[in-house]
Amino acid sequence: MEEDDVVVEENEALKNFLPRGFGKQEKEANIALQFERSKRQGQVKPALEESQNPKDLNEASDQDDDDEDEDDDYDEEDEYPVSHELVLKTHERPITSMTLDPSGSRLITSSTDCTVKFHDFASMTPTTLRAFKSVDPTATKTSASSETHPIHHVEFNPVSPSSILVISAIPQAKILSRDGEPLAESVKGDMYLRDMHNTKGHISEITTGTWHPTNRDLCVTAGTDSTLRIWDCSIRMRQKDVIVHKSRAAGSAGRTRMTAVCWGSSPQGNSSSLIAAALDGSLVMWNGEGPYSRPTAEIRDAHQRDTWTGGLDISSDGRTVVTRGGDDTIKLWDTRKFKSPISSVTHPSTTSQYPTTGIKFSPTSTSIITGSPDGSLYILNPATLKPEHTTPITPSSQLISLLWHPKLNQILTGSANAETHVLYNPTISSRGALDIMSRAPKRRHIDDDPSLTTDTSIALTGDIIAPNGNLNPNRNNNGERRAAPVTGLTASGRSRDPRRPHIPMTTPFAKTNPDERHVRDNIPLSSMRDEDPREALLKYAEKAEKDPMFTNAWRKTQPKTIYADISDWEEEPEKKKVRTG
């Protein structure tokens, strides 16, 4: 047998194990495959109008030419950025609000789990979709407990993205930095003052707020005390103006809850408009630059009374206003004729459980996006409010918050199942999710996998070895394998193991605080803290009388101390009883 006839079979496992080169090996990303995996197969579909019948549409589609079908498919795929999606699961409860900075590089989301999550698109990869920071802006630690509150609204400053407005379920609004550090906090008002003009801040819970569209130092907050308050953030949130909305509903005593507020300006240089909705069903508009003594227009019955109007937005030209009420209606208003709606349609509401359900204009105001209780995203025509496209995002889970970023051309949604979906299209979108999917997946270390990492909490709450000698902790007495305990940490830093008790955080002061044993062994005369000072002094009374330390020079000439006798009208003091037990 010759040497040329020898055939050696290749071992793929060995080939993959052995290195193919020296030095740092860069892993290339299959970008086309990653985009294909993020594509929403069969999700995008045109919505049917009420006057259309599905059978009529099927008969008409059979008669269309192939060229028209291709055009329709192209329009469905490329008209709106909804063909692909990226899912972020960083919260534990429903997402109430989200905001992106003007450049589209940093995403901040808020939730009813009382946390604000910070995400950077530049640091995420397809396998590391997580928040780099979690902040609880409402945590107030006391000696007894730690109190937190749900977050209603977060919003980047559109002029200066270095500050963030945070609205939570307390009477005080907060300003955070871009990295989550507290910068300023509004003042809480005096609840015993009847005139709301005289209070220095809100006296009850704040529902929402927003920034001035062009002035970086001004923001407005709306509260349940029937007031809108404008703050000057350049002077540590000093209250600049107070707008008191006097409700005319019967039985309200002139007060109602403010549910939504929006501050819009016109690019033609006209004055801005400040519009707010109330629980009494009214919709009120003021001049955005003041004075605020009287509203420029008011609609008393814009929506049904005692229903929460949580969705409110102004178009980019400042002429059109869209509202979504808790009475299952969506209405379009003209700011120049602010009396009756231009159009009104019926749309199911989710405000019974999540009052912050929103509605937003597209960056060019050519479309309106909103959610539905079944988890679908509706893209409406702003002229007729009819749905042009409907796509399911989170089936069986309500869609709460929405955002359409103008620079990225991507739609972000937050649902009741704590998921954040970033919808995009590789053709018409830019950066953001596209940058994430264009990177190579990060090679995870074994310590990054929670299922393969040993948690120290298991040792604290481990299984007790049975008396029969079962030494294998992974199997029970019958030899059956036990379920693997949940290990690792969540995105918020909490342990996934439900058996692990809550361990309080060690503060810098607690680290240097000595314990009782250290004080007793190392500090001289530390035991005197437990003695009675009177008994300690009387113990040296006889010694001080025989050998005085400070009056030894006057020992022979020192007069004898004579105490006054008890008068007739004075009683002799009772001696303290000595405890025997």
DSSP secondary structure, 204-262, as one string:
S-EEEEEE-SS-TTEEEEEETTSEEEEEEGGGSSEEEEEEE----STTSTT---EEEEE
Instruction: Report the pLDDT value the prediction gives residue 531, as an integer from 0 to 100.
Output: 73
Q: 218: which strand partners?
A: 232
Q: What's the whole-number mean pLDDT along residues 130-146?
A: 73
Instruction: Report the pLDDT value the prediction gives residue 425, as an integer from 0 to 100.
Output: 92
Instruction: Report the pLDDT value the prediction gives residue 106, as an integer from 0 to 100.
Output: 95
Q: What is the mean pLDDT of the chain?
A: 79
Residue holding tokens 């051309």?
A: 409
Count CB neighbours of 458 within 10 A.
15
Instruction: Report the pLDDT value the prediction gives residue 560, as an integer from 0 to 100.
Output: 76
Q: Which of 48-52, 256-260, 551-555 has the highest mean pLDDT?
A: 256-260
Q: What's the whole-number mean pLDDT along residues 41-61?
A: 46
Instruction: Report the pLDDT value the prediction gives residue 459, as an integer from 0 to 100.
Output: 38
Q: What's the whole-number mean pLDDT along residues 108-119?
A: 93
Instruction: Report the pLDDT value the prediction gives residue 479, as an integer from 0 to 100.
Output: 54
Q: What's the whole-number mean pLDDT along residues 305-328?
A: 91
The whole-angstrom separation of Cα 265 and Cα 283 is 18
The CATH architecture that domain 79-139+147-441 belongs to is: 7 Propeller (2.130)
- Cβ contact 379:367 at 8 Å: yes
Q: What's the whole-number mean pLDDT along residues 541-567?
A: 76
Instruction: State the pairing for strand pair 258-264/420-424.
Output: unpaired
Instruction: Report the pLDDT value the prediction gives residue 411, as an integer from 0 to 100.
Output: 95
Instruction: For 49-76, give one letter per residue: b (16+ CB within 10 A) or e.
Output: eeeeeeeeeeeeeeeeeeeeeeeeeeeb
Q: What's the whole-number mean pLDDT along residues 305-317?
A: 90
DSSP string, 96-155: EEEEE-TTS-EEEEEETTS-EEEEEGGG--TT----SEEE-TT-EE-SS-EE---EEEEE
Q: What's the whole-number mean pLDDT along residues 168-194?
A: 92
**At residue 564, does pLDDT exceed 50?**
yes
Q: What's the whole-number mean pLDDT along residues 175-196?
A: 91
Q: What's the whole-number mean pLDDT along residues 484-510?
A: 55
Instruction: Report the pLDDT value the prediction gives residue 392, as an integer from 0 to 100.
Output: 93
Please report which confidence band the pLDDT of residue 551 belongs to, taking 50, 70 and 90 as the band edges.
confident
Read off φ and ψ for residue 355, nearest 5 degrees. Answer: -65, -20
Q: What's the whole-number mean pLDDT along residues 1-12?
A: 58
Count the helix, strand and coil residues of the chain and give each as a percent rounded to the nearest 5: 15, 30, 55
Per domain, the residue ranges of the chain are 79-139+147-441
Please report which confidence band the pLDDT of residue 30 belongs to, taking 50, 70 and 90 as the band edges.
confident
Name the pTM for this structure.
0.69
Instruction: Report the pLDDT value the prediction gives residue 51, as an integer from 0 to 100.
Output: 39
pLDDT in tens, 413-435: 999 999 999 999 999 999 999 99
Instruction: Report the pLDDT value the prediction gives residue 541, as an integer from 0 to 100.
Output: 80
Instruction: Report the pLDDT value the prediction gives residue 128, as an integer from 0 to 100.
Output: 87
The 3 state secondary structure assigned to 439-459 is: CCCCCCCHHHCHHHCCCHHHH
Count CB neighbours of 480 within 10 A.
8
Query: Who wins on pLDDT, 438 or 446?
Result: 438
Please report which confidence band the pLDDT of residue 164 belongs to, taking 50, 70 and 90 as the band edges.
very high
Q: Environment class of residue 485 by beta-carbon count within 10 Å: exposed (0-12), middle (13-18) or buried (19+)?
A: middle
Among positive and negative, which fits the CA dihedral 409, 350, 285, 198?
Answer: negative
| Ramachandran assignment for 316, one of left (phi > 0), alpha (psi -120 to 50 degrees), beta (any other) | alpha
The whole-angstrom separation of Cα 136 and Cα 205 is 17
Residue holding tokens 């037990």?
A: 581
Which of 248, 218, 237 shows the shortest CA–CA distance to 226? 248
Query: Who wins on pLDDT, 513 or 247?
Result: 247
Cα separation values, 149 from 113, 128, 206, 352, 484, Å? 8, 29, 12, 19, 34
* Torsion angle (degrees, nearest 10) of CA 388, 391, 393, 394: 110
Instruction: Report the pLDDT value the prediction gives residue 533, as an integer from 0 to 100.
Output: 77
Which residues have a Cβ under 8 Å from the Cβ of 130 and sit 6 or more positions away?
A: 88, 90, 119, 124, 491
Please report which confidence band the pLDDT of residue 66 belongs to, taking 50, 70 and 90 as the band edges.
very low
Q: What is the CA radius of gyration of the chain?
A: 35
Please report which confidence band the pLDDT of residue 185 belongs to, taking 50, 70 and 90 as the band edges.
very high
Range name among 1-15, 303-317, 387-401 with the lowest pLDDT average: 1-15
Residue holding tokens 């605020």?
A: 292
Cα separation values, 181 from 175, 186, 234, 294, 336, Å? 9, 15, 16, 37, 41
**At residue 403, does pLDDT exceed 60?**
yes
Please report which confidence band the pLDDT of residue 32 belongs to, taking 50, 70 and 90 as the band edges.
confident
For residue 44 the two structure tokens come to: 């995008």
Among positive and negative, which fits the CA dihedral 435, 441, 447, 453?
Answer: positive
**At residue 2, does pLDDT exceed 70?**
no
pLDDT in tens, 231-244: 999 888 899 999 99
The whole-angstrom separation of Cα 121 and Cα 127 is 13
Instruction: Report the pLDDT value the prediction gives residue 550, as an integer from 0 to 100.
Output: 74
**At residue 63, does pLDDT exceed 70?**
no
